[in-house]
Amino acid sequence: MNVYDWDDTIYRGDSTVGFVKYLWLHRPKTLINLPRTIWFGLLYVLHIVPKLTFKSNLYRMFRYVDDMEKVVEDYTSSYLDHVKNWYKEAQKEDDVVISASPEFLIQAFCKKVGIKTCMASVVDMHTGEYSGLNCHGEEKVRRYREVFNDTKIENFYSDSYSDTPLARIAENAYLVKGDNLLPWDKK
């Protein structure tokens, strides 16, 4: 089985950042939350609050979207061209995506691409509230093992060394830089 990160790995760019910008443009009422986002963004940059607190406050903007299912459908359909060609050529039926982005967003993309198994941060699309932890670092390993136990990961792909915990349990791991796949330094 092959396991992939999503943003900047299979998907060119950060799908969550793109989605936030899409909401600001297509649902301008979400801009009401911008001062809160800026405030908690500053606190996060200054290491006063953790990333989860920043993201939770950013996602509060979802409360101002009355038709979130439609917006997610429109956004994911509009940005399918961001799926990298190298992935399309390598895709297998049992691929797994594990991402820190909101699960509802990643699931919508994965469904369109034909990826059946996806794990991500559980965020309520209507309130922006988290259920559990941000699916990042060691949490990705915990979530993987929760579903697959000790099933071996043949190949793991990510753009970030923050995913080293998953890389360590894979037979082979690759660092994705643009369209280039580099060997992972598992130190």
pLDDT of residue 186: 63
* Residue reference for tokens 């009422």: 29
Rounded to an integer, what distance in angstroms lies between the CA atom of residue 160 and that of residue 137? Answer: 10
**103 & 144 share domain:** yes
pLDDT of residue 134: 92
What total number of domains does the chain contain?
A: 2
pLDDT in tens, the chain (187 residues): 999 999 999 999 999 999 999 999 999 999 999 999 999 999 999 999 999 999 999 999 999 999 999 999 999 999 999 999 999 999 999 999 999 999 999 999 999 999 999 999 999 999 999 998 999 999 999 999 999 999 999 999 999 999 999 999 999 999 999 999 999 986 5
**109 & 55 share domain:** no
**96 & 68 share domain:** no
* Residue reference for tokens 């396991």: 3
**34 & 7 share domain:** no
Instruction: Find the Cα–Cα–Cα–Cα dihedral 102, 108, 110, 113, rounded to 10°.
Output: -150
Rounded to an integer, what distance in angstroms lies between the CA atom of residue 59 and that of residue 71? Answer: 15
**43 & 92 share domain:** no
**24 & 92 share domain:** no
**43 & 99 share domain:** no
**171 & 134 share domain:** yes
pLDDT of residue 185: 82
Using one digit for the tens of pLDDT, what is the confidence trace for 24-57? 999 999 999 999 999 999 999 999 999 999 999 9
Full domain range(s) for residue 64: 18-73
Rounded to an integer, what distance in angstroms lies between the CA atom of residue 16 and that of residue 23? Answer: 10
Contact, 70 vs 125, CB < 8 A? no
**57 & 99 share domain:** no
- Write the single-letter amino acid at 167: A
**97 & 174 share domain:** yes
> Which residue, of 35, 53, 73, is where some domain finishes?
73
**106 & 179 share domain:** yes
**65 & 102 share domain:** no
Query: How many Å separate Cα 34 from the centre of its chain?
Result: 21
Domain CATH code at residue 99 = 3.40.50.1000
